[in-house]
Amino acid sequence: MKKKAVVIPKKAVAVRGKSAYAEAGVDIDSKMNGIQSIKKMVAGTQTPGVIGGIGSFGGLFESPGKDHILVSSADGVGTKLKVASLAGKHDTVGQDLVNHCVNDILVQGAKPLFFMDYMGTARFDAEIFHDVIKGLCIACKQNGCALLGGETAELPGLYPPGEYDLVGTIVGSVKKSQIITGEKIQPGDVMIGLPSGGLQTNGFSLARKVFFETCGLAPHDNFPGSKKIVAEVLLAVHKSFLKPISALMDAKIPIPGMAHITGGGFYDNIPRVLPQSCGATIDRSTWTTPPVFEFIQREGKVDADEMYRVFNMGIGYVIILREKNVTEAMQILKKMRQAPVVIGEITKGKNTVTCIN
């Protein structure tokens, strides 16, 4: 016997009132309305490789070609999100996340193709969701990277009320012949540092303890000795270094290695690209440490070596070059509105970093 099809009226649940699921803490209608509201914004990040739009079960992107290698990375914003929540400012953390991931794959010479995000929260908040996605879109457009899709999950009981987590995955590509591995780094090479915009996205558990617990400051208090408020200092956007590094690549300057100075600071990140027979010596007197790091070190009574392992100390990205290419590279970087500084050199060693002065 042929069964009669059952048609469920659209918005049937809404007619009956608030659903049991919503009463339990997950409002599907609210989330879907929020996703609809950001579709135009996300569409603005599309690049020529995108096939289709958001909303499907999977994002589609055209292959970059058989002579390319795909490079991927995943990361999060960490407890910088707690500062955003305290300050009620959520339009920059998306930029932090995209730029962090862009820099990570840039180290290997890759340029971004597309980005996907995950946002988990106790209860969906349309305004916060919009601001976070706005930040993602701003950074994706600036980096020529499509926001291909993502996931937003309401998980009451898992996340604290009023807070959320934000992580992302990036996929980029690089020609096989242009992959940067660090294998060609050798003693005598020079390290150029590019200034960060602040703490970037690491060290915030220590920074929050010093600012909010030890010193009793609030997000909207003035940062001592500055016209800025604490939230401005702590939420300074994590820079993307894609454009200045691309300018060096376009000029055909050989780059043996690069390092993104994130969690682990200088001591853990630079060895990731060094050959086992090489070390690195960094002269800390070659640049001026920004006030936010001096404040944390002084008020938190943090040892100098630990500071250079936890934080970037004002240097967000390191480029390793042959000495003969340094002058030209510095000129190009300055034209790209960077403030490059020679911070040290590669030495014979055992994959370690030494900081002097």
What tens-digit pLDDT sequence spans the chain (357 residues)?
454 554 444 444 444 566 766 666 667 666 666 666 667 777 778 888 888 776 667 778 888 888 999 999 999 999 999 999 999 999 999 999 999 999 999 999 999 999 999 999 999 999 999 999 999 999 999 999 999 989 999 998 898 888 899 999 999 999 999 999 999 999 999 999 999 999 999 999 999 999 999 999 999 999 999 999 999 999 999 999 999 999 999 999 999 999 999 999 999 999 999 999 999 999 999 999 999 999 999 999 999 999 999 999 999 999 999 999 999 999 999 999 999 999 999 999 999 999 998
Name the nearest CA neighbour of 84 among 265, 252, 214, 236.
236
Distance set, CA 140 to CA 100, 114, 206, 259, 281 (Å): 12, 8, 29, 21, 35
* Helix (H) or strand (E) run with residue 43 in it: helix 28-43
Distance set, CA 184 to CA 173, 249, 268, 353, 354 (Å): 21, 16, 19, 18, 20
Alpha-carbon distance 14 to 10, whole Å?
Answer: 9
Q: What is residue 65's predicted lDDT score, i.e. its pLDDT?
A: 84
Q: What is residue 161's predicted lDDT score, i.e. its pLDDT?
A: 87
Long-range contact list for 58-67, CB < 8 A, 24+ apart?
Answer: 58/149, 59/114, 59/116, 59/148, 59/149, 60/148, 61/113, 61/114, 61/146, 61/148, 61/171, 64/113, 64/173, 67/175, 67/176, 67/177
Q: What is residue 107's predicted lDDT score, i.e. its pLDDT?
A: 97
Question: Residues 230, 292: contact at Cβ < 8 Å?
Answer: no
Alpha-carbon distance 121 to 84, whole Å?
Answer: 14
Domains parsed from the chain with CATH numbers: 25-178 (3.30.1330.10), 190-356 (3.90.650.10)
